[in-house]
């Protein structure tokens, strides 16, 4: 059976997976520090829920069905009745909304949760775009009404995540949907959604073409210029408010939007200076956002697009009687790592959690080496016992190939045994010894007390030189 | 749209998920302490790989396909060419074998890895048996030959996992396939596989029926008695060797098996006393095991069956030229948790990671409370800022409902504001105060130095009284 990778379903080698684990650990730990408990939802949802009311298959959904045989004995998939048919979830928001409705009686509101899981989309794969990928979401939902301060809290959590990750500077771009809405209404544009969708293309097609399209769609040249002037406003502080006022447009929805965005940016200035920017061109294509919207840019890699997006929605879920407004952000973990690891910008210091390889003198004394390992593990030091009682030089090379920094020589080895390796072996003191195989330093050590330097205890994730970065 | 759970796809509430996270954290940490790096494989494999050469669909595989519309506009799944068709993996061994072959050039052998992921099987769901569930595997594979000491290492890792988990006593039952094989050959039985499959039913149908079936299958009554005598042998120490010898059967394969099993049990006595038992009726149905085989029993819940099984296989993977023998064990995490949580035997001390709720005096001073939270988080103390500047009694009840043990009152609160709650509020010292809402104790506190007792820092997983256990 030929073995070939499946396009869009990437897999990491162990050292790359260590980088991914570090990212996922930091994300989870930060979410939990901010009081977001974890939930996981099943991988499948009924197709009608995934597609929405319109049966819209634009999301490129993967259907799932138990394998069946037809009359000719060939395997086939039988979707069954549409209402019961299942598909793999394509994001974590749709399953979360369903989870809230299903468990509302068991949850306390406002309900906050984080969710880190794989999702699947049948889109055409390209660099940083996969068919199977991991997202990390936080959301807060409440019953009936959601306090606006949650819209300021979300980006503070995200700012802390990115401050702790070795990715360089990540800027969170924030806008409020009510600003363009009020502004457009204030200059006599009624088709807010249609206008927003055209302005949203600004980064892709540039201002001249956006203006052309706005005019084609029935806006006046002056209205189009005003829309572009609004979208050009960007400030790290509260000065965006004055810049908008200077355009001379008045509308109560615009005032609401400016106040709301000012509150979010003020919280950023207070608690995460430098992490946020008011950017009035951010629109987020999705229609369900109704207030604050978020995107992110990795400074120096702006062309990679947003790795983390979200916003406020007035109706995350509704059971007909009760409506649940919410606000959330989603980190595209696989997308970010696919680029950073793929371009060689991040590497792990070793390909195994093991900090120590305990050498084996001969197969009969393996129990001695295992006891050393047990002592080290009891104090949180990951280790592995050498697979073979080979010459010490060979055992050291086994550690070297995996990046394990220390080799432990149990006492029974004696000095004589190690001479033939040229590099291993003890100094002849008669007790256990441990060798830092990077420096060659070898010292007496006791398995019940020895500690590696803290930076060697776990694999480190390192930023590589930027020379391989082509973006 | 009606919301109903999907049978076989269980989901946990946040407090239950905290129990699951604790299990997964302990499992991962222990695997890593033993030097097993993590890998994850994609959720899908080509159908021919999942089914094996015979196209055997016994595994109840879920096929996966992008959703398509037929000429009538109805949604359907098109499996496409069988060789390219995809299915969800039903275990982690098949994908691991493929991963080893695909990446052999990038891996160092012997290669050890752990893998904790969801798998899917379309079987009929029942208590503790799901269609989507999590497994946690460790395996070691080598090229051409695998040293026997790895067969002793696997159960030591598992013993450490279960010693750290609040599950009570878990016993690892160990056997070696060569013992029944050599024994059967020694008493003139040639159909080793067929005999083993019948003896494997011992726990289900009892010795009398096993004897009947053995005789029906052509064994003599005396052979059947000998098979049953072998299967009845069980010892925590090495005495099983003498008990087998006492049956008076001789065969070189039997000798090999006894030596190998003795080595595994001896390692258990040395490094994990009480965790292992030699149990000669353990067979593992799967044909690919060739040496040591493992099952487990939760003491007091033997009827629940094995939660953790595995063994040695001479050919985990092969590319025609090179063969990769291996040994591995898989923990059925969802099965174990489904029973323990489902029967109410394990509970979490709270439904959120937050250890502290920082109260809010009024919406204008939310920034003061957020700064307290930031200080606490910087020292690893998870907290949440209260959602509303309600009366302190109400804010305390918010914490109570989630099991958050501490409520923090920032200084600006003053004593007067809290009088109306009856339970909250400061003692009037003018500085920050923190209240243990379980005891009611309230003390002065500084957010840059205060520490909760270590058992309150993270949610605890507690063994509940056994009164709800019906098994």
Tell me the chain B residues in contact with residue A267 when contact means C-beta distances shorter than 8 Å. Answer: 367, 370
pTM: 0.94
Helix H or strand E segment including B298: strand B289-298
Is A12 within 8 Å of B39 when comparing Cβ atoms?
Answer: yes
Q: Any residues with CB less than 8 A from the CB of B239 and at least 6 apart, and which?
A: none
Q: List the Cα angle A11/A50/B40 in 5-degree steps.
A: 15
User: Which of 386-405 (A) contact B at CB < 8 A?
Assistant: 387-388, 398, 401-402
Residues of chain A with C-beta less than 8 angstroms from the C-beta of B48: 1
A273 lies within 8 A of chain B by CB: no
Phi, psi (5° rounding) for residue B223? -60, -45
More confidently predicted of A124 and B235: B235
pLDDT bucket at A53, cuts 50 / 70 / 90 = low
Tell me the sheet residues that pair with B348. B461
Residue B286 pLDDT class (50, 70, 90 cuts): low
In angstroms, the separation between the Cα of residue B209 and the nearest Cα of chain A is 35
> Token pair for residue A161?
């995540």
What is the rounded average pLDDT of the residues B397-424?
73
Q: What is the pLDDT of residues A347-390, one digit of tens each?
A: 999 999 999 999 999 999 999 999 999 999 999 999 999 999 99
Residues 233-272 (B) with a CB less than 8 A from some CB of A: 267, 270-271
Residue A138: list chain B partners with CB under 8 A. Answer: none
Question: Looking at the predicted structure, is the pLDDT value of residue A471 above 50?
Answer: no
DSSP structure string for B369-389: HHHHHHHHHHTT--EEE-SS-
Chain-wide mean pLDDT for chain B? Answer: 91
Share of chain A above pLDDT 90, in %: 77
pLDDT confidence bin for B186, thresholds 50/70/90: very high
A188 backbone φψ class: left, alpha, beta (φ>0; ψ -120 to 50): left
Contact B69 A75 (CB under 8 A): no
In a 3-state reduction of DSSP, which class is residue B132? strand
CA atoms of B47 and A75, how far apart (whole Å) = 10
C-beta separation of B108 from A352 below 8 A? no
Distance of CA B114 to the CA centre of its chain: 12
B63 CB neighbours in chain A (<8 A) are 64-67, 75, 77
What are the φ and ψ backbone dihedral angles of A331, each rounded to 5 degrees?
A: -95, 125
The answer to whether B319 and B111 are in contact (CB under 8 A) is: no
Q: Given pLDDT bands bounded at 50, 70 and 90, which one contains residue B471?
A: very low
| Tens-digit pLDDT profile for residues B23-72 | 999 999 999 999 999 999 999 999 888 987 555 556 689 999 888 777 76
Task: State both tokens at A62.
Answer: 């993967």
β-pairing, A170-176 vs A346-348, is unpaired
Helix (H, G, I), strand (E, B) or coil at B310: strand
Walk me through the domains of chain B, giving residue ranges and CATH numbers: 14-41+103-114+144-347 (3.30.930.10), 356-461 (3.40.50.800)
- Reported as a single tens digit per residue, the pLDDT across A12-37 is 999 999 999 999 999 999 999 999 99
Q: Chain A closest CA to B205's CA: distance in Å?
A: 31
Which chain B residue shows the shortest CA-CA distance from A350?
A: B37
Residue of B3, B64, B110 lying closest to A62 (CB–CB): B64
State the average pLDDT over residues B130-134: 96
Q: Per-residue pLDDT for B209 more than 90?
A: yes
Are the beta carbons of B363 and A88 separated by less than 8 Å? no
Residues in A touching B352 (Cβ below 8 Å): 35, 37, 112
DSSP B406: E
pLDDT at A269 over 70: yes
List of chain B residues whose C-beta atoms are within 8 Å of the C-beta of residue A260: none
Residues 85-124 of B with CB under 8 A from A: 85-88, 98-99, 101-103, 106-108, 110, 112-113, 118, 120, 122
pLDDT at A316: 84
Q: Which of B7, B75, B110 to mutate to test the interface with A (most CBs of A within 10 A)?
A: B75
Residue A224, min C-alpha distance to chain B (Å): 39
State the nearest Cα–Cα gap between A116 and chain B, in angstroms.
12
The yes-or-no verdict on residue A107 having pLDDT over 70 is yes
* ipTM > 0.90 for the complex: yes
The span from the CA of A453 to the CA of A436, in Å, is: 11
What is the per-residue pLDDT for B469?
44
| Phi, psi for B257 (deg, rounded to 5) | -65, -45
Within 8 A of B65 by CB-CB distance, chain A residues are: 62-63, 77
What is the average pLDDT score of chain A? 91
Look at residue A418 and tell me whether its pLDDT is greater than 70: no
Say yes or no: A163 contacts chain B, CB-CB below 8 A.
no
Q: What is the dihedral of CA B182, B187, B190, B192, to 10 degrees?
A: -50
- Using DSSP's 3-state secondary structure scheme, residue A448 falls into coil
At A288 the pLDDT is 79
Asked if B407 and B399 touch (Cβ cutoff 8 Å), the reply is: yes
Q: In what order do the strands lie in the sheet with A323-332?
A: A111-120, A132-141, A323-332, A308-318, A289-298, A170-176, A276-279, A234-235
> What residue spans of A358-465 are helical by DSSP H?
366-378, 392-402, 454-457
Question: Mean per-residue pLDDT for A289-307?
Answer: 93
Distance CA B255, CA B182 (A): 8
Nearest to B306 by CA among B326, B279, B327: B279
Facing B49 at nearest CB: one of A1, A156, A353: A1
């Amino acid at each position: 059976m030929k073995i070939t990778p499946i396009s869009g379903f990437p897999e990491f080698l162990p050292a790359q997976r260590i980088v991914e684990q570090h990212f996922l650990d930091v994300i989870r730990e930060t979410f939990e520090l901010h009081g977001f408990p974890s939930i996981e939802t099943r991988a499948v949802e009924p197709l009608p829920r995934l597609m929405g009311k319109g049966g819209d298959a634009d999301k490129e959904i993967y259907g799932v069905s138990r394998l069946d045989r037809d009359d000719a004995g060939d395997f086939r998939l039988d979707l069954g009745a549409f209402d019961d048919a299942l598909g793999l979830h394509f994001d974590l928001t749709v399953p979360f909304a369903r989870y809230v409705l299903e468990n509302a009686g068991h949850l306390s509101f406002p309900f906050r949760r984080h969710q880190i899981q794989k999702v699947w989309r049948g889109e055409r794969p390209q660099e940083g775009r996969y068919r199977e990928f991991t997202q990390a979401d936080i959301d807060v939902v409440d019953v009936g009404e959601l306090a606006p301060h949650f819209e300021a809290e979300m980006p503070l959590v995200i700012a802390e995540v990115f401050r702790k990750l070795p990715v360089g500077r990540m800027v969170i771009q924030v806008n409020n949907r009510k600003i363009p809405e009020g502004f457009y209404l204030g200059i006599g544009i009624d088709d807010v959604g249609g206008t927003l969708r055209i302005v949203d293309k600004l980064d892709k097609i540039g201002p001249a073409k956006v203006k052309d399209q706005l005019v084609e769609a029935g806006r006046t040249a002056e209205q189009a210029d005003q829309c572009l002037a609004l979208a050009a406003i960007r400030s790290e502080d509260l000065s965006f408010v004055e810049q908008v006022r200077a355009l001379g447009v008045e509308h109560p929805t615009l005032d609401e939007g400016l106040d709301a965005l000012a509150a979010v940016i003020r919280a950023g200035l207070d608690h995460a200076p430098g992490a946020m920017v008011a950017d009035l061109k951010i629109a987020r294509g999705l229609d369900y956002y109704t207030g604050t919207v978020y995107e992110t840019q990795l400074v120096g890699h702006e062309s990679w697009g947003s790795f983390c997006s979200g916003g406020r929605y007035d109706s995350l879920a509704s059971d007909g009687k009760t409506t649940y407004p919410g606000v959330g952000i989603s980190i595209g973990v696989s997308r970010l790592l696919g680029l950073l690891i793929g371009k060689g910008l991040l590497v792990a210091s070793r390909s195994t959690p093991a900090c120590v390889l305990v050498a084996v003198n001969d197969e009969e004394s393996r129990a001695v080496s295992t006891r050393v390992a047990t002592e080290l593990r009891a104090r949180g030091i990951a280790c592995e016992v050498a697979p073979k009682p080979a010459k010490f030089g060979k055992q050291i090379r086994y550690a070297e190939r995996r990046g394990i920094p220390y080799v432990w020589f149990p006492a029974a080895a004696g000095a004589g045994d190690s001479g033939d390796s040229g590099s291993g072996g003890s100094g002849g003191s008669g007790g256990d010894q441990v060798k830092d195989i990077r420096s060659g330093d070898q010292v007496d050590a006791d398995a019940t007390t020895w500690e590696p330097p803290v930076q060697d205890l776990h694999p480190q994730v390192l930023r590589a030189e930027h020379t391989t970065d082509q973006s």
